[in-house]
Amino acid sequence: MLSKRVVACLDVRDGHLAKSVKFVNTQNIGDPVEKAREYYLDGLDELVFYDITASSDKRNIMLDVVEAVAAQVFIPLSVGGGIRSVADATDLRLAGAEKINVNSAAVARPDLINECSAAVGDQNIVLSMDVRRVAPSAAQPSGFEIVINGGRTPTGRDALEWALEGEKRGAGELVVNSIDADGTRDGYDIALTALIAAAVRIPVIASGGAGLPEHLHEVLTDGKADAALVASMVHYGDYRVSGLKQYLHEQGLKIRMSW
Amino acid sequence: MVPAQPCISSEFLSDPLVFAAFQIGRAFTVTLILDYDAGNLGSVKRACSEVGLQAEFAAHPDALEQAERIIFPGVGAAGSAMRSLRERGLDTALKNAIAKGTPLLGICLGMQVSLDHSEENDTPTLGLLGGRVQRFKLNRPELKIPHMGWNEVKVQQSHPVLAGIEPGDEFYFVHGYYPMPTAPEHVLTLTEYEGDFVSAVGKNNYIGTQFHPEKSGQVGLRLFENFARWDGVWQSSALPEGGSNAQ
């Protein structure tokens, strides 16, 4: 049986580590390579780098970060943020990224998912979606809407419908990020995660809101997620990756416990 | 829990004297990573270098003749991989390398095309080891294909390359097909995904894994360390009394 995964997300801006609260007020919290190695040695199952660099002339810094991390971290490495073309995806793969996350650019041009999955294999393409709660309507029957550009721009697109379309277009995995929960440490959006995980046949990584070990357990059971993404709760030293895994293991979940 | 450290860490090798001594020790060792347009090979090379195994890419059959040991990685589909191998003459070169006893490690698709036939694209494959490769047929709807993520590798027979793998150790998998070797003595490990499937195979100087040791943390790196030291000699412990010992 596959183990449930604990995934850590590192937001990187201009080559430095940042963590956002509700996608604003980013604070610099250290060197991404050092942090990645630390989590790796502490039993992390998968690492996600999200490039939140604002200016396009600094984009290549991310390739250097990925290359440096890939030389020291021997678990799957997933990279997202600003990927607009197959060339972007291929560059990151050559730098050492296993999986490529597409987000806003795929909403603007959904064919990007098909193109990237054809180029690098569908198991390596992750559709990352930022979602907010809205009143259910004809346009958003699920009551969840896709937002883009780091949560700033609503799209009018229904989140469940977009998840299903992403799967059909060849995404191999979904990251479902609640921007309502992101940075709050109040827990994942369980209803959102469960809604999408039950509807698709590809793995779902729950994201946004983790603050306590119980939150991970909840989203991996009630939320039906295959993996739980953590950020600030480990970045600021409140919890260790190994401690979270130990807790989940003690709760009876299948977790990788030797590394 | 104390994470296992590789015996030869990159920090250790950063000492120039240690590094020089290490280089002299392996001056005539050539490890080749077979490059046949079958995906991103950088991660395999980085894992090798992390354990002090200096590996080079090779795309030409002549290079395989000289190799001390060969790593045969691969992602993608069986049909295009076999075409690519044949066009380069690498299929024959691999068979020759096996015949002369060169230690050979196949990973994922590199392992799958070592059997006789793959259901993927209905492809006749190299036949270094008897058996077929089949697609998962699963009944439980919550189980997904590809089988992707961390799963336990249960060792069935001791093997020098698998030394140090403990019960409960997990490796990283990404695959929709799995090997079914004809002879039980070629089964090295099993992994459970709605029943057990074979996750590593071995025969004489050949070993192949369905999982990706290069993405499997410190336990995966140990496998590369073991392979770096392996002389290519192995005999199945599953052979019956008085069974053949062909090396």
CATH number for B218: 3.40.50.880
A-chain residues within 8 Å CB-CB of B46?
Answer: 70-71, 74, 96
Per mean pLDDT, which of A10-24, A199-213, B1-15 is the most reliable? A199-213
Matching residue, tokens 């995404």: A171
Taking contacts as CB-CB distances below 8 angstroms, the residues of chain A near B149 are 2-3, 5, 45, 203, 226-227
Pick from A2, A71, A121: CB nearest B46:
A71
Separation between Cα atoms, residue A128 and residue A108, nearest integer Å: 13
* β-strand pairing of B196-203 with B131-135: unpaired
The answer to whether residue B240 is domain-embedded is no
Question: Which chain B residue lies closest to A225 (C-alpha atoms)?
Answer: B142
Average pLDDT in the B53-59 region? 92
Question: What distance in Å separates the CA atoms of residue B123 and residue B130, rounded to the nearest whole number?
Answer: 14
- What positions of A carry a catalytic annotation? 11, 130
Tell me if B241 is assigned to some domain. Answer: no
Q: What is the mean pLDDT of chain A?
A: 92
Q: Verify whether the Cβ–Cβ distance B166 to A76 is below 8 Å.
A: no
B166 to chain A: which residues are within 8 Å by CB? 258
| pLDDT given for residue B5 in this prediction | 45
Contact B217 A75 (CB under 8 A): yes
| CA B105/CA B121 separation, integer angstroms | 23
Distance CA B206, CA B224 (A): 14
* pLDDT digits 0-9 by tens, B140-187: 988 888 899 999 999 999 999 999 999 999 999 999 999 999 999 999
User: In angstroms, rounded to a whole number, what is the distance separating the alpha carbons of residues B247 and B236?
Assistant: 11
State which residues form the domain around B50. 10-229
How many domains are contained in chain B? 1
Q: For A230-252, how does the pLDDT look when each residue is reduced to its tens digit (9 = 90+)?
A: 998 999 889 999 999 999 999 99
- B244 — pLDDT class (breaks 50, 70, 90): very low
Mean pLDDT of A146-156: 91
User: Does residue B39 surpass a pLDDT of 80?
Assistant: no
CB contact under 8 A, A258 and B219: yes
Average pLDDT, rounded, for chain B: 87
Q: How confident is the model at residue A30 (pLDDT cuts 50, 70, 90)?
A: low
What is the C-alpha to C-alpha distance for residues A97 and A124, in angstroms, rounded to an integer? 9
Q: Closest Cα of chain A to B32: distance in Å?
A: 19
CA distance B47 to B52: 9
Q: What is the pLDDT of residue B13?
A: 55
Q: What is the mean pLDDT of residues B223-238?
A: 93
Tokens read off for A255: 């977790």
Residues of A within 8 A of B1 (CB-CB) are: 43, 242, 257-259
Instruction: Return the pLDDT at B1.
Output: 41
* Residue B238 belongs to a domain: no
3-state helix, strand, coil in chain A (%, to 5): 35, 25, 35
Q: What confidence tier does A8 reach under pLDDT thresholds 50, 70, 90?
A: very high
Catalytic residue flag (residue B147): no
Judge: A259–B219 Cβ closer than 8 Å, yes or no.
yes
Q: Which of B108, B120, B147, B186 is catalytic?
A: B108
B211 domain-assigned: yes
The answer, for A42 touching chain B at a CB cutoff of 8 Å, is yes
- Residue type, position A199, single letter: A
Yes or no, beta carbons of A74 and B3 under 8 Å apart: no
Using one digit for the tens of pLDDT, what is the confidence trace for B104-134?
999 999 999 999 999 999 999 999 999 999 9
pLDDT for B18: 57
Task: Name B76's bridge partners.
Answer: none
Of A52, A62, A58, nearest to A97 by C-alpha is A62
DSSP letter assigned to residue B119: T
Q: For B169, which residue in chain A has the nearest alpha carbon? A: A258
Residue of A nearest to B215 (CA): A75
Is the model's pLDDT at B209 over the cut of 90?
yes
Give the helix/strand (H/E) hosting A67: helix A60-70
CB contact under 8 A, A2 and B168: no
What pLDDT does B247 receive?
38
DSSP secondary structure string, A84-132? -SHHHHHHHHHHT-SEEEE-HHHHH-THHHHHHHHHH-GGGEEEEEEEE
How far is the alpha carbon of A2 from chain B, nearest alpha carbon, in Å? 5
In chain B, DSSP finds a helix count (H) and a strand count (E) of 8, 14
Residue B235 lies in a domain: no
- Res. A54 pLDDT band, cuts 50 70 90: low
Alpha carbon of B22: minimum distance to chain A alpha carbons (Å): 20
The answer to the question of residue B237 being in a domain is: no
Contacts of A227 in chain B (CB under 8 A): 149
d(CA B146, CA B112): 15
Arithmetic mean of pLDDT, A128-144: 96
Work out the angle at residue A15's Cα, subtended by the Cα atoms of residues A11 and A19, and round it to the nearest 5 degrees: 25
Neighbours of B102 (CB within 10 A): 20
Q: What is the pLDDT of residue B145?
A: 86
DSSP 8-state code for residue B121? G
Domain-located, residue B149? yes
Q: Which residues numbered 132-171 in A keep a CB inside 8 Å of some CB on B?
A: none
Tell which wins on pLDDT, B202 or B8: B202
pLDDT reported for residue A194: 98
Give the model's pLDDT for residue B7: 46
User: Percent of chain B at pLDDT above 70?
Assistant: 83
The whole-number average pLDDT for the span A46-54 is: 88
> By a Cβ cutoff of 8 Å, what residues of chain B touch chain A?
1, 3-4, 10, 39-40, 42-43, 46-47, 49-50, 75-76, 141, 144, 146-151, 166, 168-170, 172, 174, 192-193, 214-221
pLDDT band of residue A150 (cuts 50, 70, 90) is: confident
Domains observed in chain A: 5-250 (3.20.20.70)
Q: What ipTM does this complex have?
A: 0.92
**How far apart are alpha carbons B80 and B109 in whole angstroms?**
11
Q: B236 in a domain, yes or no?
A: no
Q: CA dist B199 to A2, A3, A203, B128, Å?
A: 14, 16, 21, 17
Residue A13 has pLDDT above 70, yes or no: yes
* Residue in the block written with tokens 């929960």: A181
Residue B6 is predicted with a pLDDT of 43
Is the model's pLDDT at B16 over the cut of 70?
Answer: no
pLDDT reported for residue A14: 83
Give B73 to chain A, closest Cα distance, Å.
15
Read off the pLDDT of residues B63-110 as tens digits, 9 standing for 90 and up. 998 899 999 998 778 999 999 999 999 999 999 999 999 999 999 999
| A3, A74, A203: residue with CB nearest B144 | A203
**Would the pLDDT of A96 be above 60?**
yes
Q: Tell me how close the Cα of A55 comes to any Cα of chain B, in angstroms.
A: 29
